[in-house]
Amino acid sequence: MVEYSVMSMKIRISYTTPQELHTVTELLKPIIKSCKADKGVNGQYKRAYLEVDIPEGKVQKGVNSSLI
């Protein structure tokens, strides 16, 4: 039996157009567990909340490196 660890994170995204949110979710699609967008928000920026699972083997521990 193979076991692996998963790091779970919550991410808040601010965006102005639905296309921006779509672009981000397409890039993160392989690791997204859930995505919830605020409804009825008036203002310049809208918000979406993502929950992602990153396999432990994909995480880089360096401060100045990207996570995946």
Residue 68: the pLDDT is 54
Instruction: Tell me the pLDDT tens digit for each residue of 10-64.
Output: 999 999 999 999 999 999 999 999 999 988 778 889 999 999 998 877 666 665 6
Residues 6+ positions from 68 with CB-CB distance below 8 Å: 31, 54, 58, 59, 60
CA distance 35 to 15: 14
